[in-house]
């Protein structure tokens, strides 16, 4: 009985050592992957910063104003003025168009 | 310790006397000595065992506790703390109140040289001079062939230039990464933002430091990694600021003024929506400050905050509001306005003769100097001073710009009767337009003190009540009448109930006295009068306009129409509903209209963390 116990213990220790060894390498691989992702995020953040700066630059009021002036004959945009807003309750909406007639009324009788 | 001898002579002799064997005594003593030695050895061994056992328990305990903490803690990235510190950009962005970018960073490169590593210094110098037209080939050659080991060539350059330098293939030319501050909107809000420059420079990085405006005032905050890259949100609205600068610039041109200032401020919160000072500059390429001459001639000079102007008749509302508060007068009280009036050897006269008596309201509406002085005299010098101090006219404004302390009002040190009289109509006390905005906001805020700020959405303590609500309402009502039937008729904007006061002040000569033909004209307004939401100040420096009646410099003909144009343009932008008498019919909907939900802004500004 005793030799068997010793053998089992030795095998258990070897098994655990192997597991710990693998865990160690897996952890290191994960850390490596993570730092790679972090670097990627840093790169993307940088790109994002550039894109945001570019967006802000392209949307600067001066340029938009020039574009509005250039395209005046098509868009006819002018600054907003007082009296151009009105409450929703004051708008006389047209009636919505009637739903299209069903092709065969006899068959398409709605069941209510 | 006295060692017991194995054969003590006394005992041996006694044993011999009794005929016993003396060797027994020796054996007995040997036994005792042996036992003592054994005891000692055992105690020592036991001590060692206990020490070993405790060492093992401690070691296994440490392993066990560590395993326990590892098992019970949440999994985290072990290196993220270190990594993220590198990702966060050096300096946080600055945005407007809706998150539109006003200042951000771009990564660029600087160029430096190690001349001792160069293969072909002369060729490199010629190539560099070709790529950068502002560099001198002869000077570069001298530097490269001299004894220098290191030199900067360019602080920052574009990617195209970098590629061109790279293509020279010179190993002695090296690049260092640089973070560069970019103001994508150019001139807009330049005085507020200020600008930035490089601080300590190294090969691999350089400090970006604010040099003026908000950038400098919040330098520590913007560079603090604890904020995790969160942007600094200003109270400025980019579109409002841009529209104000545009309208103000055209107004300045029409009125042939030397400079102009416009301030739009929310009354309730004190947040500044737009603050323009013309001429302005491009913070991406900040001009050098003037070393001599008048600093106000430089485009760097922020008239709204740093300018110290005698603001003229716009001050008249303060003694009148105070007198209303103290219940010395009511709006209909008759005030003696016989002009000219004498105080000691000085004479105070009105723009034109308004007769012997005006009501208090008409003193403001017609802008009578004499009437205002009479009201100020009723109040008394001490109370007048105390009120102006409470309104903030004696101290620099606590606004978040480094320039704020330089805008400390010029207050006379002594207040004889004549100074008290001139201050009541805005001469002798020079303050910045922003001081005036804060004081008008205080009156329009029901008498509760308003402190201007540039930061959006900060909770601040409510201001002190320095004027009764009733007096404040009556003062705003008088200001409204100035626009409907007084000196500022040109400032009326249909639907927005502008209430305001004009002010024309002669400019003081640097040598003393006043210019005859140079004025600072100001229009201070609040709108809408029935429920004041915004205060707006327009100041023109040396305006003049030629109308049908000849040349005019009064604020009613210069600042007031510009203010009206600005309000007409800005009020719809800030989302103010016009007040109209016209009653629109309410139509019962024939069906429930489907209203599209507000589309979310496609470009979300995220913290750079």
pLDDT in tens, B325-374: 999 898 888 888 887 888 888 888 888 888 888 898 998 998 888 899 99
What is the number of residues in chain B? 609
Which residues of A are less than 8 Å from B107 in CB distance? 46, 49-50
**Nearest C-alpha in B relative to A60:** B185
Please state, in angstroms and rounded to a whole number, the distance separating the CA atoms of residues B507 and B519.
Answer: 5
Q: Which two tokens stand for residue B299?
A: 């485009």
The Cα-based distances of B520 to B211, B234, B571 in angstroms read 29, 29, 25
Among B260, B242, B391, which residue's Cα sits nearest to residue B315? B391
Please state, in angstroms and rounded to a whole number, the distance separating the CA atoms of residues B21 and B27.
Answer: 11
In this prediction, residue B235 carries a pLDDT of 93
Q: Which two tokens stand for residue A24?
A: 């160690």
Please state, in angstroms and rounded to a whole number, the distance separating the CA atoms of residues B245 and B191.
Answer: 12
Please state, in angstroms and rounded to a whole number, the distance separating the CA atoms of residues B11 and A1.
Answer: 63
In this prediction, residue B83 carries a pLDDT of 47
Beta-strand ranges (E) seen in B509-592 are: 514-527, 534-541, 545-547, 550-552
3-state secondary structure of B178: strand
3-state secondary structure of B232: strand
Which of A34, A51, A55, A56 should one mutate to test binding to chain B, selecting the residue with the greatest count of B CBs within 10 A?
A56
Q: Do A82 and B595 touch (CB under 8 A)?
A: no
User: Which has more pLDDT, B248 or B176?
Assistant: B248
Query: pLDDT at residue A95 above 80?
Result: no
ipTM above 0.90, yes or no: no
In this prediction, residue B563 carries a pLDDT of 93
Chain B residues 220-279 within an 8 A CB cutoff of chain A: 238-239, 242-243, 246
Counting residues of chain A whose pLDDT is more than 70, the rounded percentage is 91
> Best-predicted range by mean pLDDT among B327-336, B534-543, B590-599?
B534-543
A26 touching B, CB under 8 A?
A: no
Query: pLDDT at residue B62 above 60?
Result: yes
Burial environment of residue A25 by CB neighbours within 10 A (0 to 12, 13 to 18, 19 or more): exposed
A81 touching B, CB under 8 A?
A: yes
Q: For residue A20, what pLDDT band results from cuts at 50, 70 and 90?
A: very high
Q: Name the CA dihedral angle for B452, B454, B459, B465, rounded to a multiple of 10 degrees.
A: 0
Please state, in angstroms and rounded to a whole number, the distance separating the CA atoms of residues A9 and A27.
Answer: 27
Strand partners of residue B465:
B448
**Nearest C-alpha in B relative to A95:** B590
Q: For residue A84, what pLDDT band results from cuts at 50, 70 and 90?
A: confident
Q: For residue B85, what pLDDT band results from cuts at 50, 70 and 90?
A: very low
Q: What are phi and psi of B321, to 5 degrees?
A: -65, -40
Question: In this structure, what DSSP letter does residue B491 have?
Answer: G
Q: For residue B603, what pLDDT band results from cuts at 50, 70 and 90?
A: low
3-state secondary structure of B563: helix
Q: Name the CA dihedral angle for B415, B417, B422, B424, rounded to a multiple of 10 degrees.
A: 90
Please state, in angstroms and rounded to a whole number, the distance separating the CA atoms of residues B597 and B608.
Answer: 29
A55 touching B, CB under 8 A?
A: yes
Cβ proximity of B383 and B500 under 8 Å: no
Query: pLDDT at residue B608 above 60?
Result: no
Characterize the bridge pairing of strands B232-233 and B94-95: parallel
Q: Whole-number mean pLDDT of chain B?
A: 86
Q: For residue B594, what pLDDT band results from cuts at 50, 70 and 90?
A: low
Which tens digits make up the pLDDT trace of B94-106?
A: 999 998 999 988 8
Give CATH for domain B91-233: 3.90.1310.10
Q: For residue B61, what pLDDT band results from cuts at 50, 70 and 90?
A: very high
Q: Do B185 and A90 touch (CB under 8 A)?
A: no
Burial string for B572-588 (b: 16+ CB within 10 Å, else e) reads bbeebebeeeeeeeeee
Q: Which two tokens stand for residue A64?
A: 């938009």
In this prediction, residue A21 carries a pLDDT of 96
> What is the distance in angstroms between the Cα of B103 and the nearest Cα belonging to chain A?
8
Query: pLDDT at residue A22 above 70?
Result: yes
Please state, in angstroms and rounded to a whole number, the distance separating the CA atoms of residues B407 and B275.
Answer: 15
Q: Is the dihedral of CA A13, A18, A22, A28 positive or negative?
A: positive
Cβ proximity of B241 and B100 under 8 Å: no
Chain B residues 292-321 within an 8 A CB cutoff of chain A: none
Which residues of A are less than 8 Å from B77 in CB distance? 34
For residues A35-56, average pLDDT: 88
In this prediction, residue A94 carries a pLDDT of 77
Counting residues of chain B whose pLDDT is more than 70, the rounded percentage is 95
Which helix (H) or strand (E) segment is B87 a member of?
helix B80-87
Strand partners of residue B272:
B265
Return all residues near B357 (Cβ < 8 A) that are at least 6 apart. Answer: B334, B335, B336, B337
Domain ranges of chain B: 1-30, 91-233, 239-287+300-573
Alpha carbon distance, N-terminus to C-terminus of chain A: 83
Return all residues near B468 (Cβ < 8 A) that are at least 6 apart. Answer: B325, B447
In this prediction, residue B600 carries a pLDDT of 61
Counting residues of chain B whose pLDDT is more than 90, the rounded percentage is 31
Domain ranges of chain A: 2-79
In this prediction, residue B526 carries a pLDDT of 93
Q: What are phi and psi of B77, to 5 degrees?
A: -75, 120
Which tens digits make up the pLDDT trace of B105-135?
A: 888 888 888 888 888 888 888 888 888 888 8
Q: Is the dihedral of CA B167, B173, B174, B177 positive or negative?
A: negative
In this prediction, residue B275 carries a pLDDT of 93
Which residues of A are less than 8 Å from B577 in CB distance? 85
3-state secondary structure of B39: helix
CATH T-level fold of B239-287+300-573: Beta-lactamase (3.40.710)
Query: pLDDT at residue B86 above 60?
Result: no
Query: pLDDT at residue A104 above 70?
Result: no
Among B393, B361, B375, B371, which residue's Cα sits nearest to residue B326? B375
Q: Name the CA dihedral angle for B252, B258, B264, B265, rounded to a multiple of 10 degrees.
A: -170
Q: For residue A106, what pLDDT band results from cuts at 50, 70 and 90?
A: low
Q: Which of B178-192, B343-357, B560-574 shows the lowest per-residue confidence on average (mean pLDDT)?
A: B343-357
In this complex, how many residue pairs, one in chain A and one in chain B, have their CB atoms less than 8 Å apart?
111
Which residues of B are less than 8 Å from A90 in CB distance? 584-587
Q: Does the pTM of the predicted model rise above 0.90?
A: no
Which residues of B are less than 8 Å from A52 in CB distance? 101, 104, 603, 605
Chain B residues 466-505 within an 8 A CB cutoff of chain A: 493-496
> Best-predicted range by mean pLDDT among A15-29, B69-83, B271-285?
A15-29
Which tens digits make up the pLDDT trace of B441-497?
A: 999 999 999 999 999 888 888 888 999 999 999 999 999 999 999 888 888 888 888
Q: Is the dihedral of CA B230, B225, A57, A43 positive or negative?
A: negative
Please state, in angstroms and rounded to a whole number, the distance separating the CA atoms of residues A13 and A22.
Answer: 14
């Amino acid at each position: 009985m005793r030799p068997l116990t010793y053998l089992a213990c030795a095998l258990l220790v070897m098994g655990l050592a192997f597991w710990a060894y693998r865990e160690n390498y897996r952890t290191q691989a994960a850390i490596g992957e993570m730092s790679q992702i972090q670097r990627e995020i840093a790169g993307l953040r940088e790109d994002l910063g550039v894109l945001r700066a570019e967006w802000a630059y392209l949307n600067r009021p001066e340029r938009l104003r020039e574009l509005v002036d250039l395209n005046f004959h098509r868009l006819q945009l002018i600054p907003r003025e007082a009296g151009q807003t009105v409450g929703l309750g004051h708008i006389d909406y047209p009636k919505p168009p009637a739903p299209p007639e069903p092709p065969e009324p006899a068959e398409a009788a709605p069941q209510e | 310790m006295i060692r017991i001898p194995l054969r003590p002579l006394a005992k041996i002799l006694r044993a011999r006397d009794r005929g016993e064997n003396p060797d027994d005594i020796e054996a007995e003593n040997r036994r005792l000595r042996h036992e003592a030695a054994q005891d000692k050895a055992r105690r020592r061994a036991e001590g060692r065992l206990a020490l070993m056992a405790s060492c093992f328990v401690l070691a296994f305990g440490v392993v066990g506790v560590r395993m326990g903490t590892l098992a019970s803690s949440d999994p985290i990235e072990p290196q993220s703390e270190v990594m993220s510190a590198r990702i966060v950009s050096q300096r946080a962005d600055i945005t407007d109140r809706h998150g539109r970018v006003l200042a951000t960073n771009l990564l660029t490169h600087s160029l430096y040289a190690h001349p001792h590593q160069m293969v072909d210094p002369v060729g490199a110098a010629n190539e560099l001079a070709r790529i950068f037209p502002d560099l001198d080939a002869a000077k570069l050659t001298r530097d490269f062939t001299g004894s220098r080991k290191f030199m900067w060539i360019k602080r920052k350059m574009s990617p195209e230039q970098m590629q061109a330098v790279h293509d020279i293939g010179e190993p002695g030319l090296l690049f260092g990464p640089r973070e560069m501050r970019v103001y994508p909107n150019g001139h807009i809000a330049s005085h507020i933002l200020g600008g930035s420059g490089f601080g300590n420079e190294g090969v691999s990085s350089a400090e970006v430091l604010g040099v003026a405006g908000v950038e400098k005032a919040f330098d520590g905050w913007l560079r603090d990694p604890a904020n995790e890259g969160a942007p600094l949100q200003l109270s400025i609205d980019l579109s409002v600021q841009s529209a104000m600068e545009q309208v103000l610039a055209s107004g300045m041109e029409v009125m042939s003024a030397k400079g102009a200032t416009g301030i739009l401020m929310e009354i309730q919160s004190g947040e500044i929506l737009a603050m323009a000072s013309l001429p302005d500059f491009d913070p991406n390429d900040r001009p050098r400050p003037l070393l001599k001459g008048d600093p106000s001639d430089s485009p760097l000079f922020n008239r709204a905050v740093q300018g110290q102007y005698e603001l003229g008749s716009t001050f008249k509302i303060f003694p009148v509001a105070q007198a209303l508060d103290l219940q010395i007068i009511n709006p209909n009280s008759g005030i003696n306005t016989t002009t000219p009036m004498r105080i000691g050897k000085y004479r105070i006269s009105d723009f034109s003769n308004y007769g012997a008596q005006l009501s208090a309201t008409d003193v403001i509406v017609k802008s009578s100097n004499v009437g205002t002085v009479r009201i100020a005299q009723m109040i008394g010098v001490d109370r007048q001073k105390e009120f102006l101090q409470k309104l903030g006219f004696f101290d620099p404004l606590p606004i978040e710009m480094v320039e704020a302390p330089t805008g400390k009002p010029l207050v006379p040190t002594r207040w004889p009767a004549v100074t008290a009289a001139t201050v009541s109509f805005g001469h002798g006390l020079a303050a910045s337009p922003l001081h005036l905005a804060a004081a008008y906001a205080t009156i329009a805020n029901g008498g509760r003190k308003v402190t201007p700020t540039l930061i959006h959405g900060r909770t601040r303590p409510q201001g002190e009540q320095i004027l009764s609500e009733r007096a404040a309402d009556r003062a705003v009502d008088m200001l409204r009448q100035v626009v409907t039937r007084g000196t500022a008729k040109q400032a009326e904007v249909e639907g927005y109930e502008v209430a305001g006061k004009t002010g024309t002040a002669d400019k003081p000569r640097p040598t003393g006295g006043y210019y005859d033909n140079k004025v600072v004209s100001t229009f201070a307004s609040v709108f809408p009068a029935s429920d004041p939401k915004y205060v707006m100040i327009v100041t023109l420096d040396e305006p003049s306009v030629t109308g049908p009646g000849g040349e005019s410099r009064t604020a009613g003909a210069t600042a007031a129409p510009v203010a009206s144009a600005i309000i007409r343009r800005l009020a719809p932008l800030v989302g103010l509903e016009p007040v109209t008498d016209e009653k629109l019919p309410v139509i019962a909907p024939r069906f429930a209209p489907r209203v599209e939900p507000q589309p979310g802004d496609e470009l979300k500004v995220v913290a750079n963390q």
